[in-house]
Amino acid sequence: MSAQPQKILVAYFSRPGQNYVHGNPRHLAVGNTETAVKMILALTGGDEFRIEPVKPYPEGYNETTEVAKDELRRQARPALKAKPPKLGGYDLIILGYPNWWGTMPMPVYTFLEACDLTGKKLLPLCTHEGSGLGRTEAELRKVCPKADLLKGLAIQGSLVAEAAPVLKRWLVEAGVIS
């Protein structure tokens, strides 16, 4: 299968700061999802949109997980720093996010609900430390019922630095690159 030329947007949420890496807390200057996204951008030449909440998450891992758990319980939709771009010219949206409490962080829901993904191909990428994609693909089907959801990829965050070959194979299999 050869990849067809297409206009690609790589939208992602990533959090630097304290994260668990192989079960131990470690400070990351760049979040795991952003690390994977930079590799994807280099492979695809896509446009980049960072999903950032107006109110940043705490630096500490435990504090962030408490905020994330509360947002999930309330089904919060945190305001974003930037309005999502118009998607009319894009064929494919690659969506990157960490797995928080089995699903996507709530700012990702804010982004998705602000976008018209009708007829767009949606390719999810999830970073995690053992939970895989969780229920994110099922959630994406609910939130984006008119999008063409492609097979997602879960990358363990502590292995993301070596993920370029896996990401390339995934993009080839999805028909994004050849």
Domains delineated in the chain: 11-173 (3.40.50.360)
Which secondary structure element, helix H or strand E, spans residue 122, and what is its range?
A: strand 121-128
Give the tokens for residue 24: 């131990």
* Structure confidence by residue, pLDDT tens digits, 6-22: 899 999 999 999 988 88
Q: Where are the alpha helices (DSSP H) in 14-153?
A: 32-44, 61-74, 106-113, 136-143
How high is the pLDDT of residue 25?
86
Rounded CA separation 150/154 (Å) = 13
Residue-wise pLDDT tens digits, 42-72 = 999 999 999 999 999 999 999 999 999 999 9
**What value does the mean pLDDT take over residues 93-122?**
97
Average confidence score pLDDT of the chain: 95
- What gap in Å lies between CA 147 and CA 143, rounded to an integer? 9
Q: How many CB atoms lie within 10 A of CB 75?
A: 8
Helix (H) or strand (E) holding 165: helix 164-173
> Which residue from 32, 157, 6 is spatially nearest to 93, judged by alpha carbons?
6
| Mean pLDDT, residues 93-97 taken together | 98
pLDDT at 3: 52
The CA distance from 149 to 143, in Å, is: 11
Question: Structure tokens of 132?
Answer: 């895989």
Which pLDDT does position 2 carry in this prediction? 47
Question: Beta strand 148-149 with 92-98: parallel, antiparallel or unpaired?
Answer: unpaired
Predicted TM-score (pTM) of the model is 0.95
Q: What tens digit of pLDDT does each residue of 108-165 get?
A: 999 999 999 999 999 999 999 989 999 999 999 999 999 999 999 999 999 999 999 9
Q: What is the largest CA-CA distance in the chain?
A: 45
Q: Output the pLDDT for position 5.
A: 62
